[in-house]
Amino acid sequence: MGLSPVQSVPVLKGPIPHCLEVISKGRGASERLRRLARAIGSIAPRYRGLEKVFDEHLLSFVFNSAKRKAITEHLRRHWFDPDSPEAYFPNEPVAEIYAKGVLKTLAVALKGRQSVPIECWWILDSDSVLLLTLADVERGTAPSGPVTLLIHTPRPSGRPRRGRAILGKTGKAWVSRATGGRIVTKSVR
């Protein structure tokens, strides 16, 4: 198996969540989101090669080619290739779930006159892989603010990795939990 988040970290913002946020902001965001949606739709219904679509339409905006290659290979081996012996969740159609969740988020973000930014987080320790798209909408159609994508998964098995749990400069998370008979709130970074 690949690398796994350290046990004390229940929320992350890895490469795909970070890149989704980056491309959803600034000049040209609407077109970038539309191109990503078209590219994902073009590999339906099995969504084989989703990691290649993410490489071209997400990773290329943020990472250099060596880093992109490593991330893309990690996504293929551990996330999206159902035949990989190193898949984190071998009994779930992760590529299909992920693709459809991202497509829904893109559709909501593009629903108004102008696209709205996407906020994206990876939440660990779920029973299964599921993607949630959340938005406040005006008149039942267009989002009035950012669209949030929550990627819920079981905790991947593998060697714990050290380093920043949240990519980017602005994302911040806090976790409140009962520890040793008291409630403790800690920052995740």
- Predicted confidence at residue 2, as pLDDT, reads 44
pLDDT digits (tens, 9 = 90+) for 17-62: 999 999 999 999 999 999 999 999 999 999 999 999 999 999 999 9
Residues 6+ apart with CB under 8 A from 4: 155, 156, 157, 158, 159, 160, 161
Residues 6+ apart with CB under 8 A from 165: 5, 9, 11, 12, 13, 173, 188, 189
Stretches in the chain below the pLDDT threshold 50: 1-2
Cα 166 to Cα 75, 145, 188, distances in angstroms: 17, 22, 8
- How crowded is residue 38: how many other Cβ atoms within 10 Å of its Cβ? 12
Cα–Cα distance measured from residue 65 to residue 177, given in angstroms and rounded to the nearest whole number: 39
How many domains would you assign to the chain?
A: 1
- Predicted confidence at residue 133, as pLDDT, reads 96
Its pTM stands at: 0.88
- Predicted confidence at residue 138, as pLDDT, reads 76
- Predicted confidence at residue 11, as pLDDT, reads 83
Packed helices 50-57 and 65-75: angle between N→C axes, nearest 10 degrees? 150
70, 51 in Cβ contact below 8 A? no
| Domain around 7 | 3-188
Cα–Cα distance measured from residue 104 to residue 58, given in angstroms and rounded to the nearest whole number: 16
